[in-house]
Amino acid sequence: MAQPKIRILELYSGIGGMHYAAERSDIESEVVFSVDINTSANEVYRHNFPDTNQQSRNIESLKSREINKLKPDVIMMSPPCQPFTRVGLKLDVEDARCSSFLHLLQELPHLETVNYILMENVVGFEASAMRMEFVKTLKSCGFYRREFIVSPEAFDIPNSRNRYYLLARKASDFHFGNEDDIVTQFPSGNDSSMLLSKEKSLEPYLETHMTDEELDTFLLSEKTMLKYLRILDVRRKSDTSSCCFTKAYTHYAEGTGSVLQHNCLEDFHQKFTEFEISQDPSTLRSLQLRYFTPREVANLMGFPASFKFPPTTTNKTRYRLLGNSLNVFVVSKLFNLLWED
């Protein structure tokens, strides 16, 4: 007789990164309810998961009575990170965007079927007062926990995206680490943690056969190159790393993500030297410096080929939504760990 599927309550669902991670994991599961207040994210989610009960509502409207009727086994969530980011005000629990998470902590002791939790947030959350409240509530509810700070680079994915994760379960303690430490490496013996070596470079993640018209859409303007070339992180398809893509990618130049030298037949350093002498950005034109496309960013973040944006979603919105999302592959491996004996 087939085992019943694990029932997932997906909170702060965004564009469905947690949903895809559960699908990519080794665990038979189904998302029974999904909630977010971001209209644009919800449109993308419903475009890809039309059969999931996904609702646009504030999580503060969710009460334990309603959740218990759904009988979820696990909560997967990625609460707002702005209260803890290095570029934010770091208001922590005083930030209004923490109110829904605080509400969830009040409801957690009354959830009758939830025995597992997977949570993602930014680095910095581990030092927050919000994290202390979370941990205190988990302890009072009988959860064992492990906390991680992990980047996709740990799995040979050529993209830096260091994030905080917390796993919690009631059934038994985890077989690795302890609750007082932040785990930065996956437990030894987790043989599913490695990718094929061919995935180490950027090339397999890039779109092929771009038309000239499509390429023109993503080329950096000469104005941008003139002003920001010295601080841009320029990569080639053979490179084995790239910088974290943020929601401000293409809007701000510094610290928002790498750009790609599309024409790899040219010597970047030679062209850069010519530019330094002439200060004429047209000397860089043959490099075809461009932004990574939304599809390429999604590839690096582990979204499957089946993932699509609605045609009406602008590229600016696509970058913003991806920047606020998570790495599907990393979360899928963490999801597996939740169930390991």
Active-site residue (options: 81, 98, 141, 244):
81
DSSP state letters, 127-185 = GSHHHHHHHHHHHHTT-EEEEEEE-GGGGT-S----EEEEEEESSS--SSS-TTSEE-S
Same structural domain for residues 185 and 220? Answer: no
**Residue 333 belongs to a domain:** yes
Residue whose C-alpha is closest to residue 42's, from 66, 67, 10? 10
**Residue 275 belongs to a domain:** yes
Same structural domain for residues 173 and 46? Answer: yes
Same structural domain for residues 236 and 267? Answer: yes
In CATH, what number is assigned to the domain containing residue 119?
3.40.50.150
The answer to whether 244 touches 87, Cβ cutoff 8 Å, is: no
The DSSP secondary-structure symbol of 285 reads: G
Same structural domain for residues 75 and 141? Answer: yes
| Pairwise CA distance, residues 243 & 105, whole Å | 34
The DSSP secondary-structure symbol of 219 reads: B
**What is the four-CA torsion angle of 19, 57, 33, 70, rounded to 10 degrees?**
150
The pLDDT score that the predictor gives to residue 197 is 37
Over the stretch 75-126, which tens digit does the pLDDT of each residue have? 999 987 665 455 555 555 555 667 899 999 999 999 999 999 999 999 998 9
Encoding tokens for residue 82? 């702005």
The pLDDT score that the predictor gives to residue 3 is 77
**Residue 140 belongs to a domain:** yes
Q: Is 264 a catalytic residue?
A: no
3-state per-residue secondary structure call for 4-68: CCEEEEEECCCCCHHHHHHHHCCCCEEEEEEEECCHHHHHHHHHHCCCCCEEECCHHHCCHHHHH
- Beta 116-122 vs 74-77: how paired, if at all? parallel
In CATH, what number is assigned to the domain containing residue 214?
3.90.120.10
Full domain range(s) for residue 218: 208-292
**Residue 255 belongs to a domain:** yes
Average pLDDT over residues 192-205: 66
Per DSSP (E only), the strands in 175-276 are 182-183, 234-235, 259-261
Tell me what percent of the residues of the chain surpass a pLDDT of 70.
Answer: 91
The shares of helix, strand and coil residues in the chain, as percent rounded to the nearest 5, are: 40, 15, 45
**Residue 311 belongs to a domain:** no
If one counts the domains in the chain, the total is: 2
**Residue 29 belongs to a domain:** yes
185: pLDDT confidence band, cut at 50, 70 and 90?
Answer: confident
The DSSP secondary-structure symbol of 189 reads: T
5 pLDDT exceeds 70? yes
More confident residue, 187 or 308: 308
What's the whole-number average pLDDT of the chain?
A: 91
Same structural domain for residues 281 and 134? Answer: no
| Pairwise CA distance, residues 307 & 294, whole Å | 11
Average pLDDT over residues 32-39: 96
Average pLDDT over residues 301-321: 97
The pLDDT score that the predictor gives to residue 82 is 61
196 pLDDT exceeds 60? no
The pLDDT score that the predictor gives to residue 99 is 85
Question: Residue 119 to residues 31, 207, 237, 283, 331: CA-CA distances in angstroms?
Answer: 15, 31, 32, 47, 9
**Winning range, highest mean pLDDT, from 94-98, 128-132, 190-194:** 128-132
Same structural domain for residues 172 and 254? Answer: no
Same structural domain for residues 96 and 166? Answer: yes
- Match 């207040």 to its residue by tokens: 37
Over the stretch 273-302, which tens digit does the pLDDT of each residue have? 999 999 998 999 999 999 999 999 999 999
Same structural domain for residues 145 and 226? Answer: no
More confident residue, 190 or 278: 278
**Residue 45 belongs to a domain:** yes
The pLDDT score that the predictor gives to residue 191 is 46
Same structural domain for residues 167 and 249? Answer: no
Residue whose C-alpha is closest to residue 134's, from 149, 148, 150, 117? 117
Same structural domain for residues 28 and 176? Answer: yes
Same structural domain for residues 28 and 168? Answer: yes
Average pLDDT over residues 152-165: 95
The pLDDT score that the predictor gives to residue 106 is 94
Same structural domain for residues 22 and 161? Answer: yes
